[in-house]
């Protein structure tokens, strides 16, 4: 429903003729190879971060497989379903209860939010001449502070939150098994949100945003004839990442496109260029991550994926 709303808004706001006029394909073997290299590096960073969050209890190859399942699954399933598949896959291969693995996923999302708001702050610093600069800076600071306060609350008040959750589950007459699962998730989240536990994953994530992801956006733009400077790519990346964090249709169709278009409007550039770039990024990531994820899923489904 969320995606449908955004698709409807885009359909009525975008000048489609301008969008088609903007497109000037610049596909070359060199650019395709570089894009594949960058997206492979992104998957590797996701795998390394996941291993760190699981305290290296998951093997290197299994971590990389899990990252492909997550990235590709998110392109194919609604509401970030690939992340849940990644939790299930990882839970089968580590000596950690599923509640514990899920808690690391939640910690990972806190890391994503904290670092993407830092990217927003960087976007404001690099684009000071923009009329919308103050809005980007304000939103980034408020978002970072809110996420940080939420993480601190879970870190130091997980026991109290667990007690409240247990009472609520009893009132709803849910099973004691569900209550124990929630308690375990909150307890593990409290431990996982320590500075020592998230420092390196946060550094990895921030580096990935401002280097690998930024250059994939720039390169995707060159492939479809939309020029993008590094400073502009940080603004577009900030908006696009926030759009993907909204639970919506597979691969964020609608929300992602709307966020990229909004970024181009903030940059004072035609919305049609934003739509072309968003479509290019969406298509390229879909092909690169979804195809191997489907292959892994088929092998996994038929019991041919070796347990590592």
Pinpoint the alpha helices (H) of the chain: 2-13, 16-22, 29-53, 60-76, 81-91, 98-126, 133-156, 158-171, 176-192, 195-207, 214-223, 230-244, 255-266, 271-285, 291-301
CA distances 4 to 31, 55, 254, 257, 271, Å, are 33, 39, 7, 12, 19
Percentage of residues in the chain having pLDDT higher than 90: 52
Find the angle CA(185)-CA(186)-CA(188) to the nearest 5 degrees: 65
pLDDT class for 26, splitting at 50, 70, 90?
A: low
pLDDT at 178: 58
Cα–Cα dist 109/116, whole Å: 10
pLDDT, tens digit, for every residue of 65-117?
A: 999 999 999 988 887 889 999 999 999 888 888 888 999 999 999 999 999 99
177 pLDDT above the threshold of 60: no
pLDDT at 278: 92
Q: Cβ-count burial of 88 within 10 angstroms (0-12 exposed, 13-18 middle, 19+ buried)? A: middle
* Residue 197 in tokens: 């536990």
pLDDT at 2: 47
pLDDT at 9: 47
Cα–Cα dist 195/119, whole Å: 19
Q: Which of 209-213, 221-225, 281-285 has the highest mean pLDDT?
A: 209-213
Query: Which residues, 6 or more positions from 228, have their beta carbon under 8 angstroms from its beta carbon?
Result: 217, 218, 221, 222, 236, 277
Task: Tell me the pTM.
Answer: 0.87
pLDDT at 1: 46
CB atoms within 10 A of CB 128: 10
Q: What is the largest CA-CA distance in the chain?
A: 61
Q: Return the DSSP state at 24.
A: -
- What mean pLDDT is reported for the chain? 85
pLDDT, tens digit, for every residue of 143-176?
A: 999 999 999 998 888 878 877 877 777 777 666 6
pLDDT at 179: 60
pLDDT, tens digit, for every residue of 218-243?
A: 999 998 889 999 999 999 999 999 98
Mean pLDDT, residues 117-135: 92
Query: Which residues, 6 or more positions from 190, have their beta carbon under 8 angstroms from its beta carbon?
Result: 154, 155, 156, 158, 159
pLDDT at 183: 76
Q: Which of 177-186, 205-214, 268-277 has the highest mean pLDDT?
A: 205-214
Q: What angle do the packed helices 214-223 and 29-53 form, to 10 degrees?
A: 160
pLDDT at 7: 44
């Amino acid at each position: 429903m969320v995606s449908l709303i955004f698709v409807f808004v885009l359909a009525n706001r975008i000048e489609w003729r301008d969008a088609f006029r903007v497109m000037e394909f610049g596909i070359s073997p060199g650019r395709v190879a570089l894009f594949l290299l960058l997206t492979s590096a992104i998957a590797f960073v996701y795998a390394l971060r996941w291993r760190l969050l699981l305290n290296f209890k998951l093997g290197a190859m299994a971590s990389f497989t899990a990252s492909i399942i997550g990235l590709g699954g998110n392109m194919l399933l609604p509401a970030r379903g690939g992340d849940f598949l990644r939790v299930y896959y990882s839970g089968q291969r580590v000596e950690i209860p599923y509640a514990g693995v899920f808690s690391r996923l939640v910690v990972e999302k806190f890391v994503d939010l904290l670092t993407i708001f830092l990217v927003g702050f960087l976007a404001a610093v690099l684009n000071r001449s923009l009329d919308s600069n103050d809005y980007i800076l304000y939103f980034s600071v408020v978002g970072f502070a809110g996420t940080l306060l939420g993480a601190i609350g879970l870190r130091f008040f997980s026991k109290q939150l667990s007690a409240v959750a247990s009472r609520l589950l009893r009132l709803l007459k849910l099973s004691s098994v569900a209550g124990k699962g929630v308690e375990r998730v909150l307890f593990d989240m409290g431990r996982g949100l320590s500075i020592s536990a998230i420092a390196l994953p946060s550094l990895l994530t921030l580096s990935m945003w401002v280097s690998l992801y930024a250059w994939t956006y720039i390169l995707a733009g060159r492939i479809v004839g939309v020029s993008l400077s590094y400073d502009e790519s940080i603004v577009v990346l900030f908006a696009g990442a926030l759009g993907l964090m909204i639970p919506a249709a597979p691969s964020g169709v609608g929300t992602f496109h709307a966020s990229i278009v909004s970024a181009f409007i903030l940059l004072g550039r035609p919305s049609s260029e934003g739509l072309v770039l968003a479509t290019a990024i969406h298509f390229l990531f879909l092909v690169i991550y979804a195809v191997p994820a489907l292959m892994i899923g088929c092998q996994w489904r038929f019991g041919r994926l070796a347990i590592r």
